[in-house]
A = this chain, B = another copy of it.
Amino acid sequence: MSVEYTRLDSGLSVVTESMAHLESVALGVWIKSGSRDEQSGEHGIAHLLEHMAFKGTHRRTARQIAEEIENVGGEVNAATSVETTSYYARILRDDVPLAVDMLADILTNSVLDETELTREKHVILQEIGAAMDTPDDVVFDKFSATAFRDQTIGRPILGTPDTVQSFTPEQIRHYLQRNYTADKMIIVAAGAIEHDALVRLVEERFKDVPATSDDAAAPTAASYTGGDYREKRDLMDVQLLIGFEGRAYHARDFYASQILANVLGGGMSSRLFQEVREHRGLCYSVYAMHWGFSDTGIFGVHAATGQEDIPELVPVILEELRKVADYVDPSEIERARAQFRAGLLMAHESPAARASQIARQMLLYGRPIPNEELMDRLANITPQRLTDLSGRLFFNTPVTLSAVGPLDKLLPIADITADLAGNQPRQAAAG
């Protein structure tokens, strides 16, 4: 691998992958904090700060931020998630110094002007409104909130209209000072980039980032609760998520859980796609997903269908959960592994995908992970291990259900729980 990694004295990490023959660069700052790091009275502040970063620094107005990067054909963007916030530029080779200067400026030198804040809160209210109008967004938000009841890890990243409107510049600054510190910050670039030159730029431009914060505190450990959320809406389709607690990034079963999600509902050849869509024609969209967090995870099945098909759909999904806990074919694991391997190779061919991949590895494991090592992690996943894992995932913790739409024909949660309990395969019952 051509990955190079430098840890500055401040604790800030700089990682690059030089990709020969490219003209462009994907360059970003990943911060190991997100909505989960919000404290009492801060719900939505991580995302609000991400917006405010673009609203002006002591050197640039909001318009200058936008114009300087777009003048050279580049673009900047940012995203807030549960455990991570990222600021990201896509530029041509010669514009790396501009991008580094700009990212440093918006992350260390933000004005957090009161008038701009008032306007930006209003923008976020519209963003919240649009999310609430999109059933597919709502069902995921409510799923998280139900799986992790009354915890920062489960609540909506956007905040609520009330919390968003409550924040002062001082509160935002406090969140920033606590979280945007060098020990939590990783700068990654992939593409037409020269490592040493980037390190020098970062050393100079990011020198004002404090090394750490005395106020920083690890978020409260997550406690999966499970539960039942149903919201009746006058829609054509029911949006449905059925899930369970998944596995943390560092857990022994993390990669096995990823492979299991792929076997169950990862592609067109997956069990759910074949059974639910191809054989029964019940859904347009049906898939399984597994998300890891630092101390827990989510394993879920998403489907959307008209209410008349719900009585057939739900038992079929539960049956597929039972079946995968009974038997997994070696060819299914082989296929999932081939997809994982191809995904790794293709990520190496895209600056944006490669930068995200490296950043993720740095955030989770503290170092870039060679492809061979990643493939090794999949080497000892056997059918037996996946059936065992399925038993533990689906039949040993309470189910989480989230549903939005015309719900009259959706089974009561007690029936779903009883179905799962009654149908569990032998090995799960024994374990």
Q: Which residues of A pack against B, CB within 8 Å? A: 20-24, 54-55, 62-63, 65-67, 70-76, 90-92, 118-130, 132-136, 191, 235-237, 239, 267-269, 273-274, 277-285, 304-306, 309, 331, 334-335, 338-343, 345-346, 348-351, 405
User: Would you give the shortest CB distance from A399 to chain B, in whole angstroms?
Assistant: 23
Chain B minimum-CB-distance residue to A348: B23
User: Would you give the shortest CB distance from A67 to chain B, in whole angstroms?
Assistant: 4
Chain B minimum-CB-distance residue to A350: B350
User: Given A71-B335, A73-B341, A284-B127, A66–B122 Cβ distance below 8 Å?
Assistant: no
CA distance A374 to B162 in the complex (A): 50
Inter-chain contact B23/A349, CB cutoff 8 Å: yes
Contacts of A191 in B (CB 8 A): 349
Chain B minimum-CB-distance residue to A134: B134
Contacts of A74 in B (CB 8 A): 342
Inter-chain contact A70/B236, CB cutoff 8 Å: no
User: Would you give the shortest CB distance from A189 to chain B, in whole angstroms?
Assistant: 15
Inter-chain contact B132/A134, CB cutoff 8 Å: no
A–B Cβ pairs within 8 angstroms, 6 of them: A119-B280, A122-B281, A122-B282, A126-B282, A126-B304, A129-B304
Inter-chain contact B236/A346, CB cutoff 8 Å: no
Q: Out of B70, B120, B239, which one reaches A268, CB within 8 Å?
A: B70
CA distance A349 to B26 in the complex (A): 12
Contacts of A23 in B (CB 8 A): 345-346, 348-349
CA distance A237 to B118 in the complex (A): 19
